[in-house]
Amino acid sequence: MHNAGSIMSKLSLTRDKIYKTVARQLHGVVPCWMCGEHVAPEAATLEHIKPLSEGGNSHAENLAISHDACNNQRHAKRPTAAS
């Protein structure tokens, strides 16, 4: 059984790996999946393109780098079941 700490560290390692791969492919520029602007390493977060709550998964093809602020804004805009 995984604890939250090991899951979070695994996602952090995945984020760093994806960030470095994109940076290498795009000559140091890592565009935000949400707004398209460059994401600095300290502002990068891992985004599920299709959210887990909608049947998405954590495979590389469903993950993208976004600004932490863009990621939070996207989730704030999602309608809740009570809406």
User: Which CATH number belongs to the domain containing residue 57 in this structure?
Assistant: 1.10.30
Looking at the domain assignment, is residue 60 inside a domain? yes
- Number of domain units in the chain: 1
Q: Are strands 63-67 and 44-48 parallel, antiparallel or unpaired?
A: antiparallel
Domain-located, residue 83: no
Q: How far apart (Å, rounded) are the C-alpha atoms in residues 9 and 7?
A: 6
Is the residue at 47 inside a domain? yes
**Residue 41 contacts residue 19 (beta carbons within 8 Å):** yes
Structural domain of 8:
4-77
Residue 82 lies in a domain: no
State residue 1's pLDDT score.
Answer: 45
For the entire predicted model, the pTM comes to 0.71
Query: Which residue type is seen at 28?
Result: G
| pLDDT tens by residue, the chain, 83 residues | 445 555 557 778 888 999 999 999 999 999 999 999 999 999 999 988 998 999 999 888 899 999 999 988 877 766 554 44
